[in-house]
Structure 1
Amino acid sequence: MKRVLVTGVKGFTGRYVAAELAAHGWEVWGTGAHEAVGDARYRRADLVDAASLRRVVEEVRPDAVVHLAALAFVGHGDADAFYRVNLIGTRNLLSVLAPAEQPPECVLLASSANVYGNANEGVLRESTPPSPANDYAVSKLAMENMARLWMDRLPIVIARPFNYTGVGQADSFLLPKIVAHFQRRAEVIELGNLDVSRDFSDVRAVASAYRRLLEVCPVGETVNVCSGRTHSLREALAMAEAITGQSMRVEVNPAFVRANEVRRLGGDPAKLRKLIGEWDSPPLEETLRWMLEGASV
């Protein structure tokens, strides 16, 4: 049984990735910034503390690493924290893995499709020039560029996930916010532009893609993880109304509307499928139904 170390294992994505890996025969160990009681394979380790990371790597001796730990919410108020965690924290991890007595056979780094920004209308491919539009996206692109300095010493693969959702995601994100409003039978919801379309995947499908990328390990590649289908918030609302039989009044809050926001941003999953084989994400309606039913992880 191969041993994998998942950073951010207790986070939204981490829980699904850990379950996916365990279901396919991996011995899963994890790290996070907080204490967790009752998990023998979890270790507290802060990305900004290289010494704590070194202790974990020396103990676990992972055959592979999935690096998910990051500051992810774009609206987070502390811009400096994006760089401390996403850039410097990732560098700390790579600096510990590279000289390890037993270096990992694959290191999967989760970046973000936010690096493409909002300037490129239509279908985004890995060859689309990055144009990050906020500190979170800049920190992720900087992380990618920094990681390339380590590719002669570590077998690194970079994943760029587009939007994805599922049970357990915080309702500071748009689709969980919509779901939460329907679950409590709210009469009104405040949103931004209802007619911008984005590429949404199911977190379970993303976890599967990460596991398969880890097993194939196309070293040095950067890969979009996306469904290839786009939906607007208006369409997502209509799906939720059809599933629940409820209706909800929408009030557009100007504070949520971004100036010059492009109408459609979607990803091209062709490279992902070429690397890992047949793969798809469930239809968004199926994911919303799962979320609305409130199933557990």
Structure 2
Amino acid sequence: MSPFQPQPAIRTLVTGASGFTGRYLVEKLLGRGHTVIETVGARDAQETPTRLHLDITSPDACRRVIEIARPDYIVHLAAISFVGHNDPLDFYRVNVIGTLNLLEACAAVGHTPRKLLIASSANVYGNVTSDAIDESFPVTPVNHYAASKAAMETMVRTWFDRLPILIARPFNYTGRGQTSNFLVPKIVDHFARREPRIELGNIDVARDFSDVRYVAGAYEALLASDVTSETVNVCTGTPYTLREILSAASELTGHELEIQINPAFVRQTDVKMLAGSPAKLRSLAPAVEAIPFMETLRWMLAA
């Protein structure tokens, strides 16, 4: 090809593109010059050349999308991700079988992308008391969400010799646009509306909270890296308790909230401390810089 001819655009398929993470990742990829083909679950969604309907639980639907898109890269984000989701079987239908459908679709239509980035979750580590969980820690899930992601990972590894796959294990992350059934948006919402009180579960659980923009940046960088057949934590290595987040939000807004502990919100399987080691991520994607959590909180409160 002549150096003066335009290079063909990189085609990247993103499942779950209209979800919380997907919106930020799509923006990041577009900024890098990718042509992004988004898949959306809503049946009434209008299809376009870059927006396709996909029921991830349907093998036929997955084959159709791969055949149409034939993407250079695939980022698989579509999942049931709310731990308190009311139908346990949905976790397995979507998170395990849905992922298998996508991989089998690539094989069925004879398409091998340059890389598939598959989003798992640090919840697979379970109730590990550590402030630096690395990828060698055992997988010991304690709820259906985590168990489905652990099962998904096990299944995906059987495809490492057939497709170029990278598994990302993000720890907790948040940002503008995350629904208020997640803890940090719930806290931000209460402070923004200057509510008198908030009901929470255990406020002394500690989490390694990242900014969704950092996670999107990490995914894009991992996609561009030459590594496959690996599992990589996506985290900052800095844990915060909900108590610390409440205190910081109070300081940023000048508003005091009365905190009421609701026993119904205290899960027996709650992981007490979940903080990861970002060492492997830093070695694979050194240019991706973490965003301090207080900046994330300030950004969310400003919305």
1:50 deviates by 1.2
String of CA shifts for 1:153-189, please: whole Å, max 9, x gaps.
1000000000000000010000000011112110000
Does the alignment pair 1:145 with 2:145?
no
Q: Report the AA paired with residue 14 of structure 1.
A: G
String of CA shifts for 1:4-31, please: whole Å, max 9, x gaps.
0000000001001101111011110111
Q: Report the AA paired with residue 23 of structure 1.
A: G
SS in 2 for 1:291: helix
SS in 2 for 1:125: coil
1:40 deviates by 4.4
Taking structure 2 as the reference length, what is the TM-score of the superposition? Answer: 0.93
Partner of 1:65: 74
Map 1:36-47 to 2 at 5 A. Answer: 36-37=45-46, 40-47=49-56
- Structure 1 unaligned runs (5+)? none
1:197 aligned to which of 189, 206, 216: 206
Does the alignment pair 1:135 with 2:144?
yes
1:38 deviates by 7.7
1:280 aligned to which of 265, 268, 289: 289
SS in 2 for 1:124: coil
The answer (yes or no) to whether the contact 2:128–2:274 under 8 Å persists in 1 is no
String of CA shifts for 1:25-50, please: whole Å, max 9, x gaps.
11101112113348541111101111
> In angstroms, what is the RMSD of aligned CA positions?
1.4
Does the alignment pair 1:224 with 2:246?
no
The answer (yes or no) to whether the contact 1:117–1:133 under 8 Å persists in 2 is yes
2:101 aligned to which of 67, 82, 92: 92
> For 1:49 and 1:267, how far apart are their aligned partners in 2?
34
Does the alignment pair 1:19 with 2:27?
yes
> For 2:147 and 2:270, how far apart are their aligned partners in 1?
18
1:260 deviates by 7.3
SS in 1 for 2:275: strand
Map 1:165-184 to 2 at 5 A. Answer: 165-184=174-193
The answer (yes or no) to whether the contact 1:43–1:56 under 8 Å persists in 2 is yes
CA spacing shift, 1:262–1:69, aligned 2, 3 Å: closer
1:54 deviates by 1.1
SS in 2 for 1:250: strand
1:263 deviates by 4.0
SS in 2 for 1:122: coil
Does the alignment pair 1:187 with 2:201?
no
The answer (yes or no) to whether the contact 1:199–1:229 under 8 Å persists in 2 is yes
SS in 1 for 2:208: strand
> For 1:112 and 1:261, how far apart are their aligned partners in 2?
15
1:99 deviates by 3.9
Q: Report the AA paired with residue 62 of structure 1.
A: P
Paired-residue identity, %: 53
Partner of 2:40: 32
> For 1:18 and 1:110, how far apart are their aligned partners in 2?
15
Partner of 2:11: 3
Partner of 2:255: 246
Q: Report the AA paired with residue 45 of structure 1.
A: L
String of CA shifts for 1:187-208, please: whole Å, max 9, x gaps.
0001112222110000000000
The answer (yes or no) to whether the contact 2:127–2:273 under 8 Å persists in 1 is no
Partner of 1:125: 134
1:102 deviates by 3.6
SS in 1 for 2:209: strand
1:212 aligned to which of 215, 221, 224: 221
SS in 2 for 1:30: strand
Partner of 1:157: 166
CA spacing shift, 1:109–1:39, aligned 2, 3 Å: same
The answer (yes or no) to whether the contact 2:38–2:50 under 8 Å persists in 1 is yes
Aligned residues: 294
The answer (yes or no) to whether the contact 1:112–1:140 under 8 Å persists in 2 is yes
The answer (yes or no) to whether the contact 1:121–1:263 under 8 Å persists in 2 is no
> For 1:137 and 1:261, how far apart are their aligned partners in 2?
12
Q: Report the AA paired with residue 135 of structure 2.
A: E
1:54 aligned to which of 60, 63, 69: 63
